[in-house]
Amino acid sequence: MPRTSIKELRKIIEEKDREIYLLRNELERKNAELDKIVEISSLVALQLSSVDNILNLIVTITAELLNTKICSIMLIDEGRKEFVIKATQSLDEEYKNKPNLKLDQGISGLVVKEGHPIIVSDIREDQRFFYRDIAKRLGLVSMLSVPMHFREKIIGVINVYTSEEHSFTKEEVNIVQTLANYAAIAVGSSQLIEEVIKLKETLEIRKLIEKAKGILMKHREMSEEEAYRFIQKKSMDTGKSMKEIASAICLFYEIS
């Protein structure tokens, strides 16, 4: 069996030390990534911050983790059928103020249509990318666009751009997809809460109008339809809402 020289042993030890060093750095990086993701998940789950703050934190963390030049979140405006930039860590005014994309335009539109992440190695030359002129001026090269899913529906996308050509790894795609999921939950939950509040307000208004109608039917001997038309006409004549008119009727007869 050949003997290993001291020089060879030293070389083996140095190689192992380097492997350990690289593994330790990788572990520290993974822990840092996990800490940031846990921070976001806690904010979303416990609703400890506003949606805008959460989205701004997500784009900042995403840009840091992937070392990208720009990260942005674009939400779908259903009414106008277009994307609206909701958050970005970029300070560039040209990027922030560029015209909104329609839902059938650009890489983002394709992501919404196909429902999965899309990677573009060079957006400056890709005909599918809508703002190639802006990309060239800002020095943007590679792009990763990831859908934001909420309740089997895509409500937006997260886009990241690099300043050099970059092949996004599966791990990087998974990181952005995870953060996109949290962004979608934050936005979707907020929209659900707003819908519940509006529904509650609508029911309260309806209940108040019903009460006012009952008062008019009792004290003025009106039919239900006459009472409703009375409240409606007063609302049109005075420019006040039916809620305000109904509230005034209830208050007047309670005092009387």
Structure confidence by residue, pLDDT tens digits, 62-84: 998 888 999 999 999 999 999 99
Q: Which of 126, 122, 62 is nearest to 90 (CA)?
A: 62
| Distance from C-alpha of 146 to C-alpha of 58, rounded to nearest angstrom | 13
Handedness of CA 137, 138, 139, 142 (dihedral sign): negative
Structure confidence by residue, pLDDT tens digits, 167-205: 999 989 988 998 898 888 888 877 666 776 777 888 888
| Distance from C-alpha of 188 to C-alpha of 153, rounded to nearest angstrom | 10
Structure confidence by residue, pLDDT tens digits, 103-123: 999 999 999 999 999 999 999
Position with higher pLDDT, 252 vs 198: 252
pLDDT of residue 202: 82
Place 149 in a pLDDT band, splitting at 50, 70 and 90: very high
| Distance from C-alpha of 159 to C-alpha of 151, rounded to nearest angstrom | 21
pLDDT of residue 36: 62
The chain-wide mean pLDDT, for the chain, equals 84
Question: pLDDT above 90 covers what percent of the chain?
Answer: 45
pLDDT of residue 26: 56
Exposure b/e, 121-137, CB count within 10 A at least 16 = b: eebbeeeebbbbebbee
Ordered domains of the chain (ranges, CATH): 8-194 (3.30.450.40), 196-255 (1.10.10.10)
- CA torsion 236→241→242→243, rounded to 10°? -170
pLDDT of residue 126: 93
pLDDT of residue 122: 96
Half-sphere exposure of 244 (CA within 13 A, CB side): 9
